[in-house]
Structures are given as structure tokens and as C-alpha cells.
Amino acid sequence: MPKNIDILPIMKRPDKLSGKIKTDEQLFQAYRSGSQTAFEELFARHKGPLYTYCLRMIGEKDRAGDAFQETFFRAIKYKDSFDARQQFSSWLFAIARNVCRRILTGDNMFADFDDAAAEESNSVEEPQLDYTEKKTIAEALLQLPPALREAMLLFEYDGFTYEEIAGITNVGLSLVKVRIHRARKMLRAILQPVFREERRKKQ
């Protein structure tokens, strides 16, 4: 993750949070009221998952770092547009998604798929993976169409629900399920031959 990213807003004086503010939404409300400490806590909570999401979406460290910084800049710039009834993480990732999308667009890579009924897949417990296997999966993710990749990342890696992903990506719930199902199917098709060959070599 990029180091020494100076994106925290400059405040007139240091401040302390009053009471025990725990939720993201409470922290962001405190930041909007002038608390730098609240923003620093939010930044610390979300910098890892957010940068990882940007990196997996874009696939290049430099541009992922740009997207990461731009996301927080926009969160600061448009802080007054945040609805306290929203989930902060969904709002933040929606900003990140739009930033990544802008970076990736240019040849209609985010074209929508048909809004068909999704066939539910059984979750498979992920085995312990070594560095090479993790790298292989990361490369396979980059082969997915961005619309499928973002849905897969938000669901499998960032833990958002179907409903939350629908809000982040601004598409229907059934389309979210279609995209995740198709992403899983494509990943299996990409990875099975690779892992089969790796297992053969180890025998």
C-alpha cells in the first residue's frame, strides 16, 4: 500500500473524541463536525481493505494508489453528501468503485449483462494457499470483465452482502447475483487447468 499519503484534512487545532464513538457512521458525523481524530480513525480502519480493492480492480500499483488517494479526497470533498442513514463503508466503496471505473473505462468494459435469474452456487471453503497460488488467483481475477470482478471482490473479499453491492454498484439485486455467479464460473474455468497442472508437477 502507498506510504506517507498526506490526505488528512488540515485542522486548526488537535481534538479529542468525546465519549466512546465506535461505528463508522458516528465517526464520520464527528469528522463532519470538525474532529480530525475521527477521520484519522476512519482512515486507519479502511485504508487496507480499500487499497486492496483498488489494486485488485485495476491490477497496477501506481494507478491503484492514485485511485486510493482519489477516493479519500472525494470522501473529504463530498462529505456533506453523506446520509447518516447510509452505511459508511458502502458509501466509501461506491466512491472507490466510481474512481476505479473511470480509470478503467475507455472501451466499454463495464457493459451490463442480461438481468437473468442467477443460479446460486454453494460456497466452498477456501484452502490455505501459498504465494504462487495467491498470485495465480490475483492474475485470474484480472482476466474477468470489470463488472464481474468488482462484484466478486466486494462479495468474496470485502464481505458486502448482495443488497449492499447492489447499492454500491447501482444495479438490481438479481443482476448482482448473476455477476457473482458468472464470476465464480469464469474463475473456475480459468483456475482449474492451472491448479491441475501444478498438482501434476508436484506428484
Band (pLDDT 50/70/90 cuts) for residue 11 is: very low
User: Rounded to the nearest 5 degrees, what angle is found at the Cα of 82, between the Cα atoms of 28 and 32?
Assistant: 40
Instruction: Cell numbers for 35, please give them.
Output: 474532529
Domains 1-104 and 111-203 share a fold: no
Number of other CB atoms surrounding residue 180 within 10 Å: 21
Domain ranges in the chain are 1-104, 111-203
**Torsion sign across C-alpha atoms 48, 71, 108, 117:** positive
Measured N-to-C along each axis, helices 24-32 and 36-58 cross at an angle, to the nearest 10 degrees, of 120
What local confidence, expressed as pLDDT, does residue 193 receive?
Answer: 82
Cβ proximity of 82 and 32 under 8 Å = yes
User: Which DSSP category does 117 fall into?
Assistant: P
- Each residue's pLDDT tens digit, 30-65: 999 989 899 999 999 999 999 999 999 998 898 899
- Residue appearing with cell numbers 464481505: 159
**Stronger pLDDT, 114 or 20, i.e. the higher one:** 20
- Each residue's pLDDT tens digit, 133-186: 777 888 888 899 999 999 999 998 888 999 999 999 999 999 999 999 999 999
* Predicted model pTM: 0.65
Say yes or no to pLDDT of 84 above 70: yes
What local confidence, expressed as pLDDT, does residue 157 receive?
Answer: 85
Cβ proximity of 66 and 55 under 8 Å = no
3-state helix, strand, coil in the chain (%, to 5): 65, 0, 35
> What's the CATH number for 1-104?
1.10.1740.10
Which contiguous run of DSSP H or E holds residue 185?
helix 173-202
> What's the CATH number for 111-203?
1.10.10.10
Average pLDDT over residues 75-87: 89
Measured N-to-C along each axis, helices 162-169 and 88-104 cross at an angle, to the nearest 10 degrees, of 50
Distance between CA 152 and CA 8 in Å, rounded?
Answer: 30
